[in-house]
Structure 1
Amino acid sequence: MKKIYTGKTKDVYEINDKEVLLKFKDDVTGEDGVFDPGANHVGLTIEGVGHQAVSMTKYFYELLNEKGLSTHFISADLDKNEAVVKKAEVFGKGVEVIVRYYAVGSFIRRYGSYIEEGTKINPYVEITLKDDDRNDPLITEDALDLLNIMNHEEYETLKQLALDIGQIVREELAKKDLELYDIKFEFGRIEDGKIALIDEISGGNMRAYKDGQYIEPLELEKIFLGK
């Protein structure tokens, strides 16, 4: 198969004109040998990380597909740390969609003079552009439309889909006594321009707490997968 993209934590290979293969790696983002899911560069390699990520991704995507929510997922091979997915077109050069349930992280850095850190908030969706050089800037619905990244109708569809999927993830984590504080998704257009969840759902895409304590992404995956 032809490699069509080399990513920080997985590579993408073309299967045919409608499907691609995601190959999960044991590389994780970080700085100076310390794991940091928010970093923009590969910092270290941890054996088994790719397997945990594809296992968690498979679990959630199969659940979402069963519930009739739109995703690009087709199948996964846990022995090979691979997933087969539908080809998707990203919005612009890529956007990230964050669903927040508590005032933490970049939300509190921006709005901390108006709200206390850790405050529970109504589920809230924000979108950032994937742009390392500009530190992934926040973007509004009107700007997305103005720049022809997505129109208002697509925005509303994406927003509701993100809220629906986030709630399902939240409920599943709660079964393991994990409380979801926020989660980052990626969306794209699949066949006929249909908006669908793409990429992975793993510990590195979310912030969760257990008994009031923050759980590191790799530990979160172990708890969730029962390993």
Structure 2
Amino acid sequence: MKRRRMIYEGKAKILYEGPEPGTVVQYFKDDTTALDSTKKAVIEGKGVLNNRISEYLMTQLNLIGVPTHFVRRLNMREQLVKEVEIIPLEVVVRNVAAGSMSKRLGIEEGTPLPRSIIEYYYKSDAMKDPWVSEEHITAFGWASPQDLDDVVNLTIRINDFLSGLFLGVGIKLVDFKVEFGRLWENDYMRIVLADEISPDSCRLWDVQTGEKLDKDRFRRDMGGLMEAYSEVARRLGILPESGQSEAKGPMLVR
């Protein structure tokens, strides 16, 4: 597919003008950043894996009625998505204490939370994505109260579904980050899931061993990031050609 005008370049993806009005091509880079972009590296093949994993998860969410911007994967690094007006928020769901929550609140990492907690962060690289409340969001007009209601309802559904899906392949969904956008269809607007869902945006731990299968392997200099991402893809049944020919995706854990 011939590439068109570049619209935006972020830390891990590039957006290009789509082949038809209302579409965008999302390109997954191998660039990896952490610690407010003070730590950077290029890890060959990461973008390919994130593209495949995000495609799979977005497709599964579409199938259960969660609206997303995802249309289809175009090739190993690109996918076609619907053009949306991004809400400038990172919505973080925490099921287990880890990362910044453990440091901020002094809760030992790995402690199960009494219930899933939703946090909001204002999308601003310059300000290092500061934590914000619903009051900030509605007061500054980043999202209306109705928008936030839709975001929360969708986020709860996404968390419930993904927690079960990952548990079915022996992975604990510790926490994850999602973004949402406004999709305009004529005069009708609806909130849809946007961006990506991958080991870059989730904390994923092996249920039995606690091994980290996510970007923390890069953040904490643990090494083995590609092996961890590949393991997630194999368990989901995305990469049967890697020797897991019998993999059929998630199964019920009894």
User: Any residues of structure 2 matched to 1:18-57 within 5 Å, and which?
Assistant: 18-29=22-33, 36=34, 38-40=35-37, 43-57=40-54
Secondary structure at the counterpart of residue 98 of structure 2 = coil
Q: Which of the two has higher C-alpha Rg?
A: 2
Query: Match for 1:171: what amino acid?
Result: G
Counterpart Cα distance in 1 of 2:30 and 2:128: 25
Give the Å deviation of 1:42: 7.0
Query: Match for 2:30: what amino acid?
Result: D
Runs of 4+ in 1 over 4 A off after TM superposition: none
Counterpart Cα distance in 1 of 2:52 and 2:92: 22
- Checking the alignment, whether the CA contact within 8 Å between 2:179 and 2:194 is kept in structure 1 is yes
- Checking the alignment, whether the CA contact within 8 Å between 1:8 and 1:42 is kept in structure 2 is no
- CA gap 1:216/1:63 in 2 versus in 1, 3 angstroms: closer
Query: Match for 2:112: what amino acid?
Result: K
Give the Å deviation of 1:69: 0.5
Deviations 1:97-151 (A, max 9, x none): 0010012211122222xx4432211111111011122221111111111001111
The aligned counterpart of 2:55 is 58
1:195 aligns with 2:191: yes
- CA gap 1:27/1:160 in 2 versus in 1, 3 angstroms: same
- Structure 2 alignment gaps of length 5 or more: 216-224, 235-241, 243-254
- Structure 1 alignment gaps of length 5 or more: 30-35
- CA gap 1:127/1:57 in 2 versus in 1, 3 angstroms: same
Give the Å deviation of 1:41: 5.7
Aligned length: 215
Counterpart Cα distance in 2 of 1:133 and 1:42: 16
- CA gap 1:224/1:214 in 2 versus in 1, 3 angstroms: closer
The aligned counterpart of 1:33 is none
Counterpart Cα distance in 1 of 2:36 and 2:139: 29
Give the Å deviation of 1:64: 0.9
Percent identical residues: 31
Give the Å deviation of 1:77: 2.4
- CA gap 1:13/1:99 in 2 versus in 1, 3 angstroms: same
The aligned counterpart of 2:249 is none
**2:174 aligned residue (167, 172, 181):** 181
**1:225 aligned residue (233, 237, 243):** 233
